A = this chain, B = another copy of it.
Amino acid sequence: MTTKTTRRSGGRAARQAMRAAPLAEDIRPIRSGMEGGNYKPLSDAEVLRIHHAALDALETIGLADAPPSGVDVMTKAGAILGDDGRLRYPRALVEDMLAKAAKKVTLYSRDGKNDLELWGNRVHYGTAGAAVHLVDVENNEYRECTVQDLHDAAKITQQLDNVHFFQRPMVCRDIPDNFEMDQNTIYAACSGTTKHVGTSFTEPSFMPGMFDLIYDIAGGEANFRARPFVSNSNCFVVPPMKFATESSEVMEYCIRAGMPVLLLSAGQAGATAPASIAGAIVQAVAECLAGVVYVNAIAPGHPAIFGTWPFVSDLRTGAMSGGSGEQALLTAGCAQMHKFYGLPGGAAAGIADAKMPDMQAGYEQAHSNVMAGLSGLNMVYESVGMHASLLGFCLESLIIGDDLLGQSLRCVRGIEVTDDSLSLETMRDVCLNGPGHYLGSDQTLNLMQRDYVYPRLGDRTSPKEWVERGKPNLIENAIKFKNDILSKPSAVGFDPELDGKLRAKYKIHLKQ
């Protein structure tokens, strides 16, 4: 097949006409679930060494502090409880459970338009975290974040093409009661977005109340079980190598109630995990493998995400640093381990240490996000809006970050090499018969929308145009975009009847 190349005098006019037309869904240049995998920080031999070291750790060090129910189910499966109270895992047990584990997991959206299909090298970017501050860009301040902030973040996320899921990025600091906070987190998120929602639960005793609300939103338990649109982000371990007793019990409940779980191991290299990058990966992999045994001992094939989230310490101070090159490598290395096991996996990227959405924030978020995508990470958590090493969430940064993630996704999409794209016929025509440039060629017009990504707020004007347009400022434009969304009701709010029912039954803090 060759490219037909017709010379046109009306190149500019044709481009302008095309631009005016809305972009059909099937020719969008980037989308959720594109395949990465061309970046491999580890060799195959290194992947194997990490795997074997993790198996060694499980066999000889094991994990402390499993709840009695966990000890029961895992020892029945073949784990060994030591006199020191630690559960140890023979290699054969881990291998058996890996064979039983779900290899393909779908995280559902409420509207069916944003389902996340987690397998292979498919990449999805989204929010996550437990920030306690809202970054107030207009006043250059950090303040405690509220349920309204969380809902606003969900509403904005609903409008952003390149943010594919909404895991709770901040905690509702204005709701002192933890039970109410957990319920209101679900309400604020689901009333703002139909994209998949991830969240945490504080205590096992809360769980019936949580599922009451979730099943009500779903219109019944059966509906939820058919398309679980909320998953449980579960810190089931406290690194190094200890189960988080209560979270483990929460996880057991979620598994039985039909909710996918994110097996989240959040060690911090140099503090709660080894300071070496390889060592931090080994420990995270070992901990998540223990999680795989746990989940599949309860319910073989239950949807679970292998959530190796090792973070980084600034070793000078011991404080967390998420915006470093070390962090980007940790995450990309973990993605490769997920492929090795053939399991859906997730890790953290896109964290800024910068306090405000400045140049530092931009380069910190871009390094780890693009490397996560290129490594084929299925779920890129915390990829947008996250500042101050996870302590602050910023709505303007969320909006600017949509452009940033669009660029990362374009890189994930990669380079297509086909007879057409090699362009020999086009070159021949332009050079030998043609106008000596490609501006008006059919190929250029065809690729303008299919192949090229254009930023929403990112400014590409020349210095002259920039002056003529009054020197557009990125932050000011993000504020304007934010205010525009937040001045309108949620595009996907609950219907009034359901909302009335929920507000009558539950203590909803979000103002109507």
A428 at the interface (CB under 8 A from B): yes
A365 at the interface (CB under 8 A from B): yes
Q: Shortest Cβ distance from A171 into chain B, in angstroms?
A: 15
Q: Which residue in chain B gives the minimum CB-CB distance to A62?
A: B431
Q: Which residue in chain B gives the minimum CB-CB distance to A426?
A: B274
A80 at the interface (CB under 8 A from B): no
Judging by beta carbons under 8 Å apart, are B57 and A424 in contact? yes
Q: Shortest Cβ distance from A309 into chain B, in angstroms?
A: 16
Q: Shortest Cβ distance from A243 into chain B, in angstroms?
A: 13
A217 at the interface (CB under 8 A from B): no
Q: Which residue in chain B gives the minimum CB-CB distance to A282?
A: B422
Judging by beta carbons under 8 Å apart, are A423 and B326 in contact? no
Judging by beta carbons under 8 Å apart, are B407 and A363 in contact? yes
Q: Which of A239-283 contact B (CB under 8 A)?
A: 240-241, 269-283
Bound complex: CA A410 to CA B332 (Å):
13
Judging by beta carbons under 8 Å apart, are A453 and B325 in contact? yes
Q: What are the interface flags for A388-430 relative to B under an 8 Å C-beta threshold, 1 for contact and 0 otherwise?
A: 1101100001001001101111110111111011111011101
A459 at the interface (CB under 8 A from B): yes
A290 at the interface (CB under 8 A from B): no
- Residues of B with C-beta under 8 A to A455: 360
Judging by beta carbons under 8 Å apart, are A318 and B12 in contact? yes
Q: What are the interface flags for A303-342 relative to B under an 8 Å C-beta threshold, 1 for contact and 0 otherwise?
A: 0000000000011111101011110110001000000000
Judging by beta carbons under 8 Å apart, are B315 and A463 in contact? no
Among A328, A409, A438, the one with the most B-chain Cβ atoms within 10 Å of its Cβ is A438
Instruction: Given A326-B453, A426-B274, A428-B60, answer yes or no on A353-B458 (Cβ-Cβ < 8 Å).
Output: yes
- Residues of B with C-beta under 8 A to A360: 362, 400, 403, 455, 457-459, 474
A447 at the interface (CB under 8 A from B): yes
A111 at the interface (CB under 8 A from B): no
A366 at the interface (CB under 8 A from B): yes
Judging by beta carbons under 8 Å apart, are A271 and B438 in contact? yes
A466 at the interface (CB under 8 A from B): yes
A443 at the interface (CB under 8 A from B): yes
A90 at the interface (CB under 8 A from B): no
Bound complex: CA A392 to CA B463 (Å):
8
Q: Which of A61-118 contact B (CB under 8 A)?
A: 61, 64, 84
Instruction: Given A275-B447, A318-B12, A454-B316, answer yes or no on A408-B367 (Cβ-Cβ < 8 Å).
Output: yes
Bound complex: CA A365 to CA B359 (Å):
10
Judging by beta carbons under 8 Å apart, are B454 and A314 in contact? yes
| Oligomer copy total | 2
Binds B, one of A39-47, A180-188, A489-497, A501-509: A39-47
- Residues of B with C-beta under 8 A to A359: 357-359, 361-362, 397, 400, 404, 474-475
Q: Which residue in chain B gives the minimum CB-CB distance to A455?
A: B360
- Residues of B with C-beta under 8 A to A414: 41, 329
Q: Which residue in chain B gives the minimum CB-CB distance to A460?
A: B353
Judging by beta carbons under 8 Å apart, are A355 and B461 in contact? yes
Bound complex: CA A475 to CA B354 (Å):
12
Bound complex: CA A84 to CA B431 (Å):
11
Contact surface of A with B, Cβ cutoff 8 Å:
12, 15, 19, 38-42, 46, 49-50, 53, 56-57, 60-61, 64, 84, 133, 140, 142, 240-241, 269-283, 314-319, 321, 323-326, 328-329, 333, 353-355, 357-367, 370-371, 374, 388-389, 391-392, 397, 400, 403-404, 406-411, 413-418, 420-424, 426-428, 430-432, 436-439, 441, 443-444, 447-448, 451-455, 457-463, 466-467, 471, 473-475
Closest 9 CB pairs of A and B: A362-B362, A279-B423, A325-B410, A366-B366, A274-B423, A362-B363, A363-B366, A359-B362, A276-B421
Q: Offer 15 A-B interface pairs, CB within 8 angstroms, sorted by A.
A: A15-B315, A49-B417, A53-B424, A64-B431, A240-B427, A275-B438, A277-B415, A283-B423, A283-B427, A315-B447, A315-B448, A316-B454, A325-B407, A329-B410, A391-B462
